[in-house]
């Protein structure tokens, strides 16, 4: 299966268990691996036969700005569902959602959730 990979898209959102996270917001990184047949688009150079990744970015921007989740697991699941519902050409996808520098007393790069979902 062919893949389109959108790497380390950066968004600002209001997600987290702590009230301050949902009030002040913080950065998040999203990686998407979209599994689909890209052969027709590759042969014809026709954007309508593939996924417009600028539109995917706008969809994620809307989710990150207007919705709030306590768990990044729930946010990742919501992203997966919205992308699959919006783009029927996609057969399966992997969402990697990273919350860099969570608000803890220890320092680490971040926490990443990875979900793989297929069209049912």
CATH number at residue 83: 3.30.1130.10
Burial 73-100, CB ≥16 within 10 A → b, else e: eebbbebbebbbeebeebebbbbbbbbe
The parent domain of residue 76 ranges over: 2-118
- Active site residues per annotation: 99
Which tens digit of pLDDT belongs to each residue from 2-37?
A: 999 999 999 999 999 988 888 999 999 999 999 999
Number of separate domains in the chain: 1
28-84 pLDDT, tens digit per residue, is 999 999 999 999 999 999 999 999 999 999 999 999 999 999 999 999 999 999 999
Q: What is the pLDDT of residue 95?
A: 98
Instruction: State how far the Cα of 52 lies from the Cα of 71, in Å rounded to an integer.
Output: 28
């Amino acid at each position: 299966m062919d893949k389109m990979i959108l790497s380390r898209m950066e968004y600002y959102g209001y997600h987290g268990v702590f009230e301050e996270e949902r009030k002040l917001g913080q950065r998040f990184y999203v990686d998407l691996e979209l599994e689909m047949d890209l052969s027709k688009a590759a042969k014809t150079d026709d954007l309508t036969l593939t996924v417009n990744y600028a539109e995917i970015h706008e969809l994620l921007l809307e989710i990150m700005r207007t919705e709030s989740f306590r768990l990044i697991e729930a946010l990742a699941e919501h992203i997966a569902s919205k992308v699959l519902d919006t783009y029927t050409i996609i057969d399966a996808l992997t969402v990697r959602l990273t919350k860099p520098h969570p608000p803890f007393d220890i320092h680490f790069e971040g926490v990443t959730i990875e979900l793989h979902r297929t069209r049912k």
